[in-house]
Each structure stands twice: as structure tokens, then as C-alpha cells.
Structure 1
Amino acid sequence: MAEDPRRRRQALLKLLLMAGGLLAAGALLREMGGVPGTAWVDGTIRDEGIWGETVFVAVGAALTAAGAPRQSIAFLGGYAFGTVLGTVFALTAQMLGCAAAYAWARLVGRRWAERRLAGRFGHRLRPLRDVLAGSPFQATLALRLLPVGNNLALNLLAGMTALKAVPFLAASLVGYLPQTVVFALLGKGIRVEGAWQLGLGAVLLAVSFGLGVWMWRRHRAARALEGG
């Protein structure tokens, strides 16, 4: 059945509002002179060399594993180290946190993860689990590219269902990258008052979202054809 054109227009409108809101929020935060966490970066991380980088990665990994938004880690990475190094260190922290949560759910806390996921997501748990089990790399990549959803929940679900580690982590690495670059750009833009970084971040977020939606729909269509 063809997709409702009205739903397509609504999705496009939401995407434009998200990108515009991101740009406006970044400009507002820049005018305010900072965001939560930047004082910690200024006092503990920046200009501290290898020590500061190590502390940032360790704290970022712990926060990601505990459920903190991975985008906030990328933002602070960009604020502390600039776009390139901020992306590298934030992505390292995100992957360590992802692997830790995955390993916890798979090896130690499977029953705890089951209770948490079932309580929060209930009716959506089984279909998503089946999709991930059928195509771990493609499905994980599509979900990571979308700027919505719960990073910790996906990590726990993958571990709980004993999803193969290599495709899950590889897809997470690739899928994390676009938004990590976006928010590192925003962090750098806040620090140096770079309007072009904020604008480029909004554009890249829109591209990431569109690519994630396209991949997810393509993946679901392929599975439907296989089932038919």
C-alpha cells in the first residue's frame, strides 16, 4: 500500500522544525554564554593535555553507559577540543559506554534489562527485537541514524537478546558518527561564536535523519518482500 502523502508532509514538516529549532537553540545558547557542563570542561578538561582527554573519555563513557544522551557528550567534546578531536574523543566515549551497557545486559543484568525494557516499552519490545535479530547491522544502523529513540534502551535490548557483538557495535560506530559530528560542531560553535558551525550542524542533522528514515523504510520493505 502506498504511503499516505499527508504523512510524508507531516514527517517533512517535523524534520524542518527540528532543524530550525536546533539552529535557534544553538544561537540562543551562544548568546547566553554557556550550557550545563561547560564550566566543568573549562575547569577540568580543557588545556589539561592527555589527562584532560582521558578524564573526558572516561566520564563520557560512564555517562553514556548510564543513559545520558550521547549527543550531550559530543557537544561537550566539541566545546572542549574542537570539531575534529571532539568528535574522536566523544565517539570513543560513546562506543565504550555502548559496549559496557551491551555487555552488562548480556552477561550480568539480563533479567534487570528485561524488567526495565518491558516496563518502559512493553508492546514495542518484541517487534523491535525481531527486527534487530533478523538484520543486526542494517537495523541498528538505521536506528542509530535517527535523532530520536533511546540509546540505552537499544544497547540493553541488544545485550538482552544476545545480538552478535561485532555487527551491533560496528553499526553503532557508523551510526553514531553523523550526530557526533553535528553536536561537536555545535559545541565548537558555542565556544567560538561560529554561526556557520551552528547552521552546518542543523543541515547535517537533517541529512542524518532523512538517511535513517530511508534506511529503516527500505529495510522494512525488504523484510516484507521476504515474508511474502
Structure 2
Amino acid sequence: MKKRTFWQEWQKIILFVGFAISCLIVLYAFDVIGKIDIEAASDYVRELGIWGMLLYVIVYTIRPLFFFPATLLTLFGGYTFGPFLGTALDIVGAGSGAVLAFLVARYLGREKIEKFVKGKKIERFDQSIQNNGFIVVLYLRLIPLIPFDSINYSLGLSSIKLKSYMAATYLGIIPGAFVLNYIGSSLRTMDSKLWIAVALYGVMVLLPFLVKKFKGTTQIHLEKEPVK
């Protein structure tokens, strides 16, 4: 087998880094970043009233098609609409976006989506979901540090039913949506609420792992316990 050259081995990474650097140069040259006024954008959306809410939900729904970071949009929602209304709109938008990604994956099929998602990841989902799809998806939604979009597309290629996927998704994103919207809303005042929000986020990050560890420990204990 012919040995791959350095360019062949690193071509995609070099091109990606080069593209990213070029974008940063353009943004810096035209001072695009400096012209972005988050507070002005937030005020504009709020002034639109119900149409601003609808716009936010629509943008959040189509967001997975462009892989725009969901966390940033959620924080903006909390900053704009407050912790409670922002959470409600986030659940609708994020949930609808997750369903859209799921349906896109089902429509396009495994071959095309596998270009972006590794096949082994899809196979692992299939094996887990065959047992209890609702619980698996619900658990995945409670983990804030996993790639939201790739999970959605992967689940679309799995054997889970759309009804179970939707129920687990809309239910599972509630805690994360509230915490991030709470953080976003507290950024306006930068008061003690921000530290409370950060603490809640820390608990949310640790909770799924603690639940999994407790479940594993309990299972081991039950297996070791003699049958009477």
C-alpha cells in the first residue's frame, strides 16, 4: 500500500483551519464582531412582541440545518425573554429543531448522514434503543455536554419510533433549557442570580453521571445479594 503524503493525511484539517483563519481575518478587517450589539438585537426582538417570539422559535427550529450552537441561542432567549418565557419558547424551538433533524435523517437515509455521523455510533444507538428507546433518549437529553445535533441525526437513523423520540426529547430538555435561560436572563443584571444559575448548571452536568453510577452500584449490589 502506497504511503500517504503529509498533504493527503492533513489536507482536510489544513483547509479547515485555513478557512477559519480567513473568516476571522475578514471579520476583523470589516469590524463585524465589533458592530454586533446583543442588547440592541434583544431589544428589537422584544419590541416585535408575539412576532419576535415566533421568529425566535422559527430560527431555533431550523438551527440544526446550519449547526449553529444551540447554547448561544438559548442564552439569547433567556437574555431577551426572561427565564420563564425564554424556557417555554426554548422548549418549543429546540424540541421542534430536534424533530426536524430526526426527520431529515430518516428522509435522507443512512448512507448520506453517515458522512457526518460515524456508523458505529449509529449501531450503538440501535442496540440500546431496541431495549428501551424512551429511557435512552431521555437520559441523553439530561446530559448537557454531548453534541445535541449529531445525537438528533443519529437517532433519526435508529429504530426508535417518532412518538417516543418526541416525548423523551420535549421532556428531557426542560432542565437544561431552564438553567441556560436563567443564566441568560441574569446576564442583564450580573447580580447574584448568575452564581445561582452557574451552580444549577454544575448540578445539571453532574446529575446524569451520578444517576448512572448509582444505578450501576445498585445493580451490582442486587446481583451479589443471595437469593432467599
What does residue 160 of structure 1 align with? 157
Q: How does 1:52-63 map to 2 (within 5 A)?
A: 52-63=52-63
Does the 8 A contact of 1:142 with 1:213 survive in 2?
no
- What's the CA shift string for 1:142-164, capped at 9, x where partnerless? 11111211111111111112411
Q: How many residues align?
A: 187
The whole-number CA distance in structure 2 between the counterparts of 1:133 and 1:220 is 20
Structure 1 residue 41: deviation in Å?
3.0
Unaligned runs of 5+ in 2: 1-33, 222-228
Unaligned runs of 5+ in 1: 1-33
Secondary structure of 1:191 counterpart? coil
What does residue 85 of structure 2 align with? 85
The whole-number CA distance in structure 1 between the counterparts of 2:68 and 2:215 is 28
Evaluate the alpha carbon distance shift between residue 75 and residue 41 of structure 1 in structure 2; reply closer, same or farther with a 3 A threshold. same
Bigger relative CO (Cα 8 Å, ≥ 6 apart): 1
What does residue 214 of structure 1 align with? 210
Instruction: State which of 182, 201, 204 in structure 2 corresponds to 1:205.
Output: 201
Structure number, greater radius of gyration: 2
1:71 matches 2:71: yes
Structure 1 residue 38: deviation in Å?
2.2
Does the 8 A contact of 1:110 with 1:160 survive in 2?
yes
Does the 8 A contact of 2:43 with 2:80 survive in 1?
no
Evaluate the alpha carbon distance shift between residue 156 and residue 219 of structure 1 in structure 2; reply closer, same or farther with a 3 A threshold. farther
Q: How does 1:185-204 map to 2 (within 5 A)?
A: 185-196=182-193, 198-204=194-200
Does the 8 A contact of 1:79 with 1:187 survive in 2?
yes
Identical pairs, percent: 24
TM-score (norm: length of structure 2): 0.71
Evaluate the alpha carbon distance shift between residue 141 and residue 219 of structure 1 in structure 2; reply closer, same or farther with a 3 A threshold. farther
The whole-number CA distance in structure 1 between the counterparts of 2:70 and 2:45 is 18
Does the 8 A contact of 2:138 with 2:168 survive in 1?
yes
Structure 1 residue 89: deviation in Å?
0.8
Higher deviation after alignment, 171-180 or 65-74: 65-74
